[in-house]
Amino acid sequence: MAATSRTVSTPADTVSNLIIRLKAQEERRLRAGHLWIYSNEIDSAKTPLKTLTPGSLCRFEDARGKPLGAGYVNPHALLCGRVLTGQYDAVIDADWFARRFAAAAALRERLYREPFYRLVFGEADGLPGLVVDRYGDVLVVQIGTAGMELLKSKLLAALQTTFKPRGIVLRNDSASREAEALPLYVEEVGDVPEAVVIDESGVKFEIAMKGGQKTGWFFDQRDNRDRLARYISPNSKVLDVFSYVGGWALRAKAYGAAEATCIDSSAPALEAATRNAALNNTTIETIRGEALDAMKQLASDGRRFDVVVVDPPALIKRKRDHDEGLGLYGRLNRAAINLLTPGGILISCSCSHHLTPEELQRELLRESRAAGKRLQILEQLEQGPDHPVHPAIPETRYLKGYICAVAHE
């Protein structure tokens, strides 16, 4: 078949005859299972990208015209093509989405008893550009690409048919959409409550559906918070840095910690943490401020903790921010180490996919040595199984962390 970028009049939910032809040898990553295509991998002479509508459904072929699969294209983005399926003649309609959603739900239902989890994790679930979190009968959706934006009506119809939710909120206000030249907005479908109460291993959390961070809750750390239990004793004092609404702190209290302190720069987040403490018939201390400043003040006040959790947002959002972000991880962890009692436990995490586990480990070693302490790594952490890793896309393995014992020399 000759390569072409012709416009066709086929229905919007089918893959049209728009063909994206790759340069010679550029199909190797796709043949190995990857789902991304960069603009410099496309034969622009045979596929004039600039003429295409952002998000257009298309078929991908190698330089010899052999099929590679179907997906969508955004000519204005460096990462301009994403494969939805290896089926060249696929029909991408509501039924197609419903099948993907059913498969994603079946996996999560094997993993978790309650319907609180990340239901769709983009590429790892065969749905690049789409994230869905499930809060019982309320779904929170994030669309990150022009292709998924054009398919919004189809995927919403499939979510409604498959799960019959009370309401759906589209939290399409992430700055990552700017890379695809997409507008930022929040949209509600059906009855979306202000907040939903979830149960995480017996601890209740009230999660804002419309105004919380990202999709409201960080399900990716749930299994790691479960692992906290063995490090808590009845006398434990716990510090939760970048606490958001108190996830680590309240799980520690449920495991029997005597005291838990939350540090966050957001007053609404700390107010929510206090409400969550009351919801679980307990109390916590909250400190509003920048993490480094607050930890230094605690150290000056002579405060010490048996467990310190450092779980910041992504500090390295772009490759060019790597060195600066790495330095900040180091300073945060040194401040945390200085707050630990002898033999205390440091839980250090990073969700920056530009930071490798090995780099975080080296930073922990460097800072512990600088503080005159001896570090022992007890456990290595990663995202929970409702955030599966695509074996061909290392970027889907983004969360890393270590549970460490910190002893005096």
Q: Which of 80, 262, 351, 404 is catalytic?
A: 351
**Residue 254, CA distances (Å) to 15, 204, 281, 402 in order:** 51, 10, 10, 22
- Spatial contact of 70 and 57, defined as CB atoms under 8 Å apart: yes
Q: How far apart are CA 390 and CA 397, in angstroms?
A: 8
d(CA 252, CA 258): 9
Active site residue 351: yes
Beta-bridge mates of residue 134: 117, 139
The residues annotated as belonging to the active site are 351
